[in-house]
Amino acid sequence: MEKYLKNNQKLWDEVTAIHARSDFYDVAGFKAGKSMMVMPFELEEVGDVNGKTLLHLQCHFGMDTITWARRGAKATGVDFSEEAIKLAKSLSKETGIKAEFICSDIYKLPEVLKKKYDIVYTSGGILCWLPDLEKWGKIISHFLKLGGFFYIMEGHPFMNVFDNSMTATELKVTQPYFHNPKPMSWSWEEDYADPSFVGKYNSYEWSHSLGEVVNAIIGAGLKIEFLHEHTAIFFKQFPFMQKGKDNYWHLDGDKLPLVFSLKATK
């Protein structure tokens, strides 16, 4: 398992610079104060974070973390990519928005971080990089204060069963819905932020059903407050998607769930 995670770490070290100069992330706009990445319904569902401590797991290069810090949270971001954390620290300094950033595999985070938090947050394309959701749930619970809550916004697992290659013209089932301990391997081509980029490293990813996510949270001793499903997503998951007036991506007719959000308390 360690070899897969090390490979993925190298992949994200490589892709960080690509993302930093992409239109998708619009780092220049973010530095100028533009609100990025966090979807509008997240702001409503998470609520007022002013003065609260917030731990952001798998934060990439910190734009979401800094967004919450802009809203008054005492935010800490964690990611296993050294290049991503280096850029996150630079963004925090350049924007003048104070946030702490830690380079660590989240499974090993209790070895290096001893604090507890009001909120543990994660979002946007993170589950597929986790081989063990039961352990993930325990990590979340470990870092939450009693009375604190966990929040996740993520692409809906159901949509991951469909072919999302650039030649896809319809929803066709090509991938498993349920978890397999052995990861799927993909060549990193046509990156979601820069389709022209071809990476040196394959990715190793794991599928997780919605039931597995829910049970990992319940199994960690948390009480689920809500599970919502949404018809818009933050990136163009399929080539035949259309961008809506809300500036997010939709399938024709909004008949299927593209994203889910979940809140659970300790």
- pLDDT tens digits for 85-127? 999 999 999 999 999 999 999 999 999 999 999 999 999 899 9
Confidence at residue 196, expressed as pLDDT on a 0 to 100 scale: 80
Mean pLDDT of 175-203: 86
Beta strands at 53-57 and 74-79: parallel, antiparallel or unpaired: parallel
Q: Average pLDDT for residues 168-196, to the nearest whole number?
A: 89
Q: What is the CATH number of the domain that holds 186?
A: 3.40.50.150
Q: What is the mean pLDDT of the chain?
A: 94
What's the pLDDT band for 36 if we cut at 50, 70, 90? low
* Range of the structural domain that residue 194 is part of: 2-265
Own/partner contacts of 185-194, CB < 8 Å, gap of 24 or more, are 188/11, 188/15, 190/166, 191/15, 191/18, 191/19, 192/24, 192/235, 192/236, 193/18, 193/19, 193/22, 193/23, 193/24, 193/25, 194/18, 194/19, 194/22, 194/24
For residues 70 and 255, give the distance between their C-alpha atoms in angstroms, rounded to a whole number: 35
Name the more confident of 225 and 165.
Answer: 225
At 194, the pLDDT band (50, 70, 90 cuts) reads confident
pLDDT of 13 over the 90 cut: yes
Smallest Cα–Cα separation from 222: which of 146, 157, 155, 126?
146
103 CB contacts (<8 Å, ≥6 apart)?
A: 78, 79, 80, 81, 82, 85
Distance CA 234, CA 236 (A): 7
pLDDT recorded at residue 56: 98
The sign of the torsion formed by the CA atoms of 84, 34, 234, 44 equals positive
The mean-pLDDT minimum among 47-51, 201-205, 221-225 falls in 201-205
pTM here is 0.95
Which pLDDT does position 35 carry in this prediction? Answer: 72
Strand partners for 233: 249
pLDDT of residue 200: 84
- For 49, the token pair is 């974070």
Token code pair at residue 117: 């938090």
Place 20 in a pLDDT band, splitting at 50, 70 and 90: very high
pLDDT of 165 over the 90 cut: no
Compute the average pLDDT of residues 49-58. 98
121 with 151: CB under 8 angstroms? yes
d(CA 73, CA 107) in angstroms, rounded, equals 24
Whether the pLDDT of residue 193 is over 90: the answer is no
What is the count of structural domains for the chain? 1
